[in-house]
Amino acid sequence: MKKVHLILILTSCLTLFSCQDDEDNNTIESPTYNNGDELLGGNGSIYDESVNAFSQPIPGLEGEDELRFFVGNSFFNQNWVTSPASTTARDGLGAVFNARSCSACHLKDGRGRPPQTIGEVNHGLLLRLSIPEQDVYGSPLPDPIYGDQLQDQAILGVQKEGEFSIVYEKITGSFGDGEAYELQKPLYQLNNLQYGDIHPEIEISPRVGQQMIGLGLLEAISEADILSHADPTDIDNDGVSGRPNYVWDIVNQQLSLGRFGWKANQPSLLQQVAGAFIGDIGITSPLFPENHNPPNVVTAADDELDITGDKLRQVVLYSSTLAVPTQRNPTNEQVLQGKQLFNEIGCNKCHVSSYTTDIHPSISPLSHQKIKPFTDLLLHDMGEDLADNRPDFLANGQEWRTPPLWGIGLFQTVNNHTFYLHDGRARNLQEAILWHGGEGENSKNNFKQLTKAEREQLLAFLNSL
C-alpha cells in the first residue's frame, strides 16, 4: 500500500513542472504543493483522481487491520444469495430487499442517484417509511405492514413490497444578473403495493447512498467539538442555528449523538452498517437478529444469524477506513477565489472546514488528524422545499444534517453522474446551492447575487473538493 502511495506522489511531482503553466483546469499538482492544505483527510488522504478515488484504504493501515479492510471490501462488494445455499458465507438475502450488495447503492464506494427509468434497480435511492408518531425516544414508527423502508426487490417466490415512481415539477428562478435557472422538484408515488393498504398518512423520506470516504475520521471527531458549533436558539442571531440529533444507540442502550445518515439518524458506523445489512439486504446480525418480512411471508427456518459479529466488524472497519482524495488544483487562482467566496457568503457557517480528530478507539491512523470535511454534522432547517416532513428522532421534517463536501467534485469521475442532495434532485452543484432554504436562505441569496464569474469561481472550488 505504502509503496504505491509513494510512487503516486513521486510521479505527480515529476510531472509538476511540465503542467504548472498549463492553462487548463486538469493540471495535476503534488499533494505537498500547498503546505498540506489540500490533505482533506489529514494523513488519511490519498492522491487519486481516478474512477477508484473513493476505494483506497487510508495510508498507514497495517497488519491485521489491512487484512480486515480487504475482507470487509469483499463483503461490501459481493452479491448476497438466497439461503439455504451451498455458500453459507454469503446467503441470507431477503426475503424482501433493496439490493443484493452494499456496492449496488454505494457504487465504487460513491454516491447513489435517483432511478432514471421506472423499474431500474441498483441506483442507490431508497424510501424510508413511517407513520406520524414516534416512540418515547423519538424513533420514527414503521408502517404496520411495510415497515420502515419500501423494499422493491424480493427473492424468488416472494412478492416485492411494491415500486415507486418519481415525477418532477419544474421551478424557475433567476440570478441577480438576470440569468434564469430551472430546478426540478421530485414527487414520489408508491405503485403496485403487494401486501395491502399502506397507512393513509404514510410519511416518505427518499434518500440516496452517500460516498463512503472519511467516515472513520468523522466518527473520531470529539462530541465536544461538534457541540461547540451548535447554536440551537441562534444566540448570535446570524440566521443559522444548528442542533445535534440524539438517537437510540442499541449497543449502549441509551440516546447518543447522531452522526451518520442524512438526518444524523445513526450514532455509529457499527449501527449504520448493521442497519444497512438488515434494512437494505435482509441480512441479520447480532445488532439486528430478526428479519422483518412482510405479513405471511414464510421463508426457510433459519436460527442462525446471516452474518457474525466478526464479519460485521470487518465491514465496519472497511467503512471506517476509506481514504479521502486530496483536493485537486488547490493553488489554481479560480479555486482560491472560490474558497474565499465560500467563506464570505456564509457557506462555512454549516460546512465547517477544519477539525482535529480525537483518539479513535481502535484504528490509530484515524487519531489526531487535521481534517477538512466541510460539515458541522448538525441539523439545520433547510426550508419547506427540501422538507421530507418525516421526523427522525430530534430532526424535524425540515431538518437535514450538513453533509461533508469532501469528494463532491469527483462524483462524475467515480459514479458518472452529478446528482446531489439527500434525494439526488439537484442535477449539478449549482442546483444544490439553489435548493438551500431556511437557515441556508441567506447564503443562497448571497450566491444568487454574485456575478457569473464569481459563481464559477465558487463552483470551481467545490469541484476541487
CB 427, CB 434: distance < 8 Å: no
Nearer to ligand HEC, 54 or 195 (CB): 54
Instruction: State the cell numbers at 338.
Output: 472560490
Q: Which three cell numbers stand for residue 116?
A: 432514471
- Note the residues at the interface with ligand HEC (CB under 6 A): 76, 98-99, 102, 104-106, 112, 124, 126, 207-210, 215, 240, 260-262, 265, 269, 272-273, 276-277, 280-281, 315, 319, 342, 345-347, 349-351, 380, 382, 386, 400, 402-403, 405, 408, 420-422, 429, 432-433, 436, 439-440, 443, 447, 462
Question: Which residue, 33 or 260, is less far from ligand HEC as judged by CB?
Answer: 260
**Residue placing its CB nearer to ligand HEC in the complex, 5 or 339:** 339
Distance of CA 223 to the CA centre of its chain: 20
d(CA 131, CA 143): 6
Q: How would you classify the pairing of strands 45-46 and 324-325? A: parallel
- Closest CB to ligand HEC among 326 and 430? 430
Instruction: Give Cα separations from 323 to 218, 273, 315, 407 (angstroms).
Output: 12, 18, 15, 10
77 Cβ neighbours under 8 A, 6+ residues apart: 101, 102, 103
**Three-state secondary structure call for residue 348:** helix
- Smallest gap from Cβ 297 to ligand HEC, in A, equals 19
In the complex, the smallest distance separating the C-beta of residue 87 from ligand HEC, rounded to whole angstroms, is 17
Shortest distance, position 443 Cβ to ligand HEC, whole Å: 4
Residue pointed to by grid coordinates 465504487: 108
Phi/psi of residue 30, nearest 5 degrees: -75, 150
Q: How far apart are CA 134 and CA 168, in angstroms?
A: 30
Q: How far is the CB of 407 from ligand HEC (least distance, A)?
A: 8
* Nearest to ligand HEC of 75, 195 (CB atom): 75
Output 33 or 355, the one with its CB closest to ligand HEC.
355
**Cβ proximity to ligand HEC, 28 vs 462, nearer residue:** 462
Grid cell of 158 as nine digits: 416472494
Could you give the CA distance from residue 404 to residue 288 in angstroms, rounded to a whole number? Answer: 28
Question: Minimal distance in Å, beta carbon 304 to ligand HEC?
Answer: 18
- The neighbouring-strand residues paired with 97 are 153
Q: Which is nearer to ligand HEC, 260 or 393 (CB)?
A: 260
Closest distance to ligand HEC from the beta carbon of 227 (Å) = 16
CB of 337 to ligand HEC, least distance (A): 14
**CB of 98 vs ligand HEC, minimal distance in Å:** 3
Closer to ligand HEC by CB, 28 or 104: give it. Answer: 104
**CB of 48 or CB of 306, closer to ligand HEC:** 306
**Minimal distance, residue 50 CB to ligand HEC, in Å:** 20
Identity of the residue numbered 32: T
Strands 153-154 and 96-97: antiparallel
Cα 441 to the center of its chain, rounded Å: 23
CA distance 130 to 140: 6
Residue in this structure with the C-alpha cell 424482501, named with its chain if needed:
96
- Smallest distance, Å, CB 195 to ligand HEC? 19
- Strand ranges (E), 180-338: 180-191, 203-208, 246-249, 254-257, 324-325
Phi-psi region of 42 (alpha: psi -120 to 50; beta: other; left: phi over 0): left
